[in-house]
Amino acid sequence: MHDVRDLISLGDEAVRRLARRGYRLDLDELSQLQSRRTSSIQAADSLRAESKRIASEVGQAGRNGGDVEELKETARKLKDRIREAEQDIEDADDKLTTALLEIPNLPSDDAPDGDSEEFAVEQRKVGNPPVFAFEPKDHVDLGEGMGILDFGRATKLSGPRFSVLRGAGAALERALSTLFLNLHTQRHGYVEHSVPFLVTRKTMTGTGQLPKFEADLFGTAVADRDLFLIPTAEVPLTNLYADEIIAPDQLPIALTALAPCFRSEAGSYGRDTRGLIRQHQFAKVEMVRITSAENARAEMEAMVEHAEACLNELDLAYRVVTLAAGDTGFSAQLTYDIEVWLPSQNTYREISSVSDFGTFQGRRAGIRTRDKNGKTTPAATVNGSGLPVGRTLAAVLEQHQQADGSVLLPHALTKYLGFARINPDGTTSKE
């Protein structure tokens, strides 16, 4: 969330930057709401001062034996006017907060112009996409042929866009999760957490999922409690420090968690409906870093390297791109996407997004630290996927498939699996 004073101070610059992401900022409306709030506060303060003066006069008159009834009546009327003024402040606050919660983050000038993935700017490619002497299969045909992926029975259980993994498939999912967590905790310095998968409306608002994206969430109400299934572990991890002041010497705080992610994918039907690419439920290892505003960009660059390390361990070809301003998420000011090569689609597909949110989430969630002068200031947050297990599993199957229909697994996974190859019939072997 923004500080309204900053937006008004930036003026046309704020309008320009938000226009790059297709958002029209109404500065006049914000100024009017801010003026109303300020006027209400000033009126309430003036009335309180008058009430205090009258109370003093009542006391003085009582001590002198004077008539206090008229003064007491004035005091009662002032209390009513103070209550009305306080209600005006609350109403003005609510309207201003509602307006601010709908305004996305200001995109960085480092984000290229454009409003879709077509305008992303490639930063680098790593690894060479595999060249096959045969027609490569997609992960669905490979997995179902081996009997390690079962979309039909998943649909029977839950409807479309769910999956069941069995045998070597389930083992591969578990091994990928363990590899990612071990890399982030043992090599990259993150602290692993186990977090709730159901969170409150306030928690969702803190990281920017609400109020704008409620249609994308799965909600539930049990015993009059309004809870949401998390779309990513970013939500509980970041909000662990909501409404807290973090000492500067504790920064950066690096958090990671494996969690199921639940997404309704509203508005995306007809896109990527086949296989593991876009599902209603999937497992993902998430990374979150809480830091100071001046260090956020450096922390973001480090996080990109941490996500890349997972792909490098798996010998997967990928590339890194900078998203266009109009394609950057609501809460982010700059996002790098890491895209893995999928042979079946003959293209790179997003497997990790790493975003610098600046102080946007810190303001919304009340996560604060202190600057060099000891003044309380919003903390900055950075988050990224490290990595989604299903999409990574799909890439492993597709990039490492063999001519005989087997999949030769990366060496980094064999110590967790106990086998190195998944055979065409779903059995496994150590060579």
Catalytic annotation on 308?
A: no
Compute the distance between CA of residue 366 and CA of residue 359 in angstroms, rounded to an integer.
10
Catalytic annotation on 278?
A: yes
Token pair for residue 99?
Answer: 């307006």
- pLDDT per residue as tens digits for the range 69-86: 777 788 888 888 999 999
Strands 198-200 and 164-165: unpaired
Token pair for residue 410?
Answer: 């990366």
Residue 206 to residues 7, 90, 93, 101, 202, Cα–Cα distance (Å): 19, 20, 17, 10, 6
If pLDDT is split at 50, 70 and 90, which confidence band does 64 have?
low
Q: How many helices (H) and strands (E) does the chain have?
A: 13, 19
* pLDDT reading at 337 higher than 60: yes
Strands 225-229 and 347-356: unpaired
Binding residue per annotation — 338?
A: no
Q: What is the DSSP letter of 270?
A: T
Binding residue per annotation — 292?
A: no
* pLDDT reading at 269 higher than 70: no
Coil vs helix vs strand at 215? helix
Binding residue per annotation — 264?
A: yes
Binding residue per annotation — 31?
A: no
**Active-site annotation holder among 17, 161, 289, 391:** 391
If pLDDT is split at 50, 70 and 90, which confidence band does 65 have?
low
- pLDDT per residue as tens digits for the range 217-267: 999 877 778 899 999 999 999 999 999 999 999 999 999 999 999 999 765
Binding residue per annotation — 39?
A: no
Binding residue per annotation — 305?
A: no
**Active-site annotation holder among 50, 86, 192, 350:** 350
If pLDDT is split at 50, 70 and 90, which confidence band does 137 have?
very high
Long-range contacts of 252-255 (CB under 8 A, 24+ apart): 252/289, 252/290, 252/291, 252/295, 252/299, 253/191, 253/289, 253/290, 253/291, 254/188, 254/189, 254/190, 254/191, 254/287, 254/288, 254/289, 255/190, 255/191, 255/193, 255/287, 255/288, 255/289, 255/290
**Active-site annotation holder among 21, 263, 289, 297:** 263
Catalytic annotation on 51?
A: no
Tell me which residue has tokens 């939500």: 235
Query: The whole model's pTM is what?
Result: 0.92
In angstroms, how far is the first alpha carbon of the chain from the final one? Answer: 54
**Active-site annotation holder among 163, 331, 353, 355:** 353
Catalytic annotation on 350?
A: yes
Average pLDDT over residues 162-173: 97
Compute the distance between CA of residue 109 and CA of residue 402 in angstroms, rounded to an integer.
44
Catalytic annotation on 292?
A: no
Note the pLDDT of residue 56.
Answer: 81
Strands 191-192 and 253-262: parallel
